[in-house]
Structure 1
Amino acid sequence: MEFQIIKADMKQDEDKKYLGHVTFTLTGHSSKYEITLFSKRGKEWDYSLNFAAESGNEDELLKVDEQLEEDDDLFEALVDAARESMEQ
């Protein structure tokens, strides 16, 4: 599935925990999405998926969530985009 990253950021707090956000679009979807990423050590990630701006098609959001669970390459690309923002 093709995607485009619009914006990405990540910070590490004083306890060395990571919190990041990536706003992105997917080909064929009408909405922009935002994934919030959290990790205690930067290896295993928890996430929350939401619409980035206004609410959209719930079925599409559920399909994106399912895709994130199944497609490691997509998920890792979003994590990498957020991590790269820390280096800039």
Structure 2
Amino acid sequence: MKITIIRAEMTHDKENGYRGAVQFEAEGHKHPYEITLQLNSLRGTTWDYSLRFAKDPGSEDQINEMEAAIESDDDLFDSLIDAAAETLPEDIEEGE
């Protein structure tokens, strides 16, 4: 599935780990999405995420389709994580 990143951000602190958000559009979908990401290094190495429509509510079928794509396509999910991670200051990326 082809996506276009609209906006991305990520922060890091010792207490909460990595937290990010990415707004993106998906080809053929009417409304943009926002995925929030969290990786708490104290709990493991698996990213937790939450997906929602970024602005206006959209169809349940389309958000279910996007959820399935994120779950089944590691490259898609990794591209969302990478978009957020690219916004971290270099000293944080190198320090972990």
Q: Residue 7 in 1 paired to residue 17 in 2? A: no
Superposition TM-score, scaled by structure 2 size? 0.85
TM-score, with normalisation over the residues of structure 1?
0.93
Structure 1's consecutive aligned runs of 4 or more residues displaced over 6 angstroms after TM superposition are none
Q: Equivalent residue for 1:24?
A: 24
Taking the aligned partners of 1:77 and 1:70, their CA distance within structure 2 comes to 13
CA root-mean-square deviation: 1.5
Equivalent residue letter for 1:38: Q
> Offset at 1:14?
3.7
Aligned counterparts of 2:49 and 2:76: Cα–Cα separation in 1 = 13
The aligned residue for residue 50 of structure 1 is: 52
Tell me the equivalent position of 1:64: 66
Equivalences, count: 88
Question: Gaps spanning 5+ residues in structure 1: where?
Answer: none
| Structure 1 residue 87: Cα displacement | 3.0
User: Cα offset for 1:16?
Assistant: 5.4
Q: Distance in 1 between matches of 2:38 and 2:16?
A: 11
Residue ranges of structure 2 left out of the alignment (5+ in a row):
91-96
Whole-angstrom distance in 2 between the partners of 1:6 and 1:35: 12
Q: What amino acid maps onto 1:31 in structure 2?
A: H
Q: In structure 1, the residue corresponding to 2:82 is in which secondary structure?
A: helix
Aligned partner of 1:3: which letter? I
What percentage of aligned pairs have identical amino acids?
44
